[in-house]
Amino acid sequence: MKVNNSDLADSLPVSPLSTSFDATIRFYRISAKELSKLTGVSENHISEFRRGKRDVSTTVLSRLLDGVDNLAPGSRQHFFKLVSNQKQSPSSYRQSLVEIIQNADEDELLDAMGVIANRVRYLRSQLVS
């Protein structure tokens, strides 16, 4: 289930993924029409994601990043550089994590649960030390 009705979306900050993707598209002058044809993701979906009005799954994001890098080599790296340099507020991290969980498939959730379990074990071991 995706939580992304317009009232909630309007009150939340735009995700770093959306802003970085939009900045990458602008920087490399990639049209949504070209990207849509190449990836099979609708222009409307791309536009709403760029404006932070709609989430994308990890699968769709991967297709979009493959597409932009195909149209403009180096653009995927540019995107990741922008994402890694953006500072997020704690509430933004929390929202991003919720969005990731809601969009994850079963295998991704199982992997995440393993990482979470390891993190909890680590934190508990630090309390004992």
pLDDT of residue 3: 39
pLDDT of residue 4: 45
| Predicted TM-score (pTM) of this structure | 0.58
Which stretches within the chain are classed as H helix? 6-11, 16-27, 32-39, 43-50, 58-71, 75-85, 90-103, 106-128
Domain boundaries along the sequence of the chain: 6-128
pLDDT of residue 61: 93
pLDDT means per 10 residues in the chain (129 residues)? 43 78 92 95 94 90 94 90 71 61 79 83 80
Residue type, 22: D
pLDDT of residue 106: 86
Q: Classify domain 6-128 by CATH architecture.
A: Orthogonal Bundle (1.10)
